[in-house]
Amino acid sequence: MMIRMNQLDFSYRKKNVFSGLNLTLSEGHVYGLLGKNGAGKSTLLKLMCGLLFPERGEINVMGYLPSARKPAFLSELFFIPEEIYLPDLKMSAYAELLRPFYPRFDRQMLEEYMEEFEVSLDERMSRMSYGQRKKALICLGLACNTRLLVMDEPTNGLDIPSKSHFRCLIASVATKDRCIIISTHQVRDLDNLIDALVVVEESRILVNVTTDRITEKLVFKNLEEDESALFAEESVKGRWGVVVNENGEDSKLDMELFFNAVLQHPEKIRAIFGNDKVND
């Protein structure tokens, strides 16, 4: 197991964020972490990375206690936050500063990724736009070849071609011994990339399940006028919704519809996935 959280409590002064939270994440997956604003997604990522400390409970990440911040732990973790603060250096110089801390750092990979994103290694990061800095940090994170890659809203600031490049690069580095976690509101940017979904809401994990399991249990389709559904909404293509897959139908996962269905009917969804990785 890559990450295990057990009975975790965390709060900011008087604001409770998590109470008795349980979560397990495995290597070999690209996880999408979904939740409304203020649900605690960024807090959860920082707890995993040892940037915040729980009040109670246990966290084990790759066999380490994150809050201890041991070099062996940090050398296998790269975290890309939503808000980026980088030194006034060229990316080439910044990469050389970080190289000793990441034993599998690959300079050639960094150059290839930067070229793919059309970002110069010789441009000072302080002069880059927000989108360019985001692309540069994504390239650096991938080139460090860590077992755990954690990203908070990585597609914010990226233009449409860059989002496509991002999906291709992540797919190319997703291996069976690596865990990639992406917190996002831009679920449509990550279609065909994420293979497991975690939904957090009101201090608990509502769903932690693979996308294959979702489409095995649910169908996403155009609905007849009076057809009932777990969740439905009107679109330009008519009434679109989520229904229980009683006949073994094949359908393409709509992550946005699934997320809305989970929020509207959490107990029904939990009952459907009762034998999967669903945590209280």
SS (H, E, C) 254-278: CHHHHHHHHHHCHHHHHHHCCCCCC
pLDDT of residue 278 exceeding 50, the answer is: no
pLDDT of residue 29 exceeding 60, the answer is: yes
Q: Could you tell me whether strands 3-12 and 56-61 are parallel, antiparallel, or unpaired per DSSP bridges? A: antiparallel
What are the tens digits of pLDDT across the range 242-257?
Answer: 999 998 899 999 999 9
pLDDT of residue 70 exceeding 90, the answer is: yes
Residue 237 included in any domain = yes
pLDDT of residue 275 exceeding 60, the answer is: no
Residue 247: which of 219, 221, 273 has the closest Cα?
219
**How many structural domains are present in the chain?**
1
Residue 47 included in any domain = no
Residue 78 included in any domain = no
Residue 265 included in any domain = yes
Its domain, for residue 206, covers 201-280
Residue 24: which of 74, 71, 61 has the closest Cα?
61
Residue with the bigger pLDDT between 227 and 215: it is 215
Residue 39 included in any domain = no
What are the tens digits of pLDDT across the range 165-219?
Answer: 999 999 999 999 999 999 998 888 887 899 999 999 877 899 999 999 999 999 9
Measured over the CA atoms of residue 19, residue 20, residue 26 and residue 29, the dihedral's sign is negative
Residue 220 included in any domain = yes
Token representation of residue 276: 């999967």
Residue 207 included in any domain = yes
* Dist. CA 195–CA 16, nearest whole Å: 30
User: Please, are residues 48 and 3 in contact by the beta-carbon 8 Å criterion?
Assistant: yes
Rounded to the nearest 5 degrees, what angle is found at the Cα of 97, between the Cα atoms of 109 and 30?
Answer: 45
Residue 90 included in any domain = no
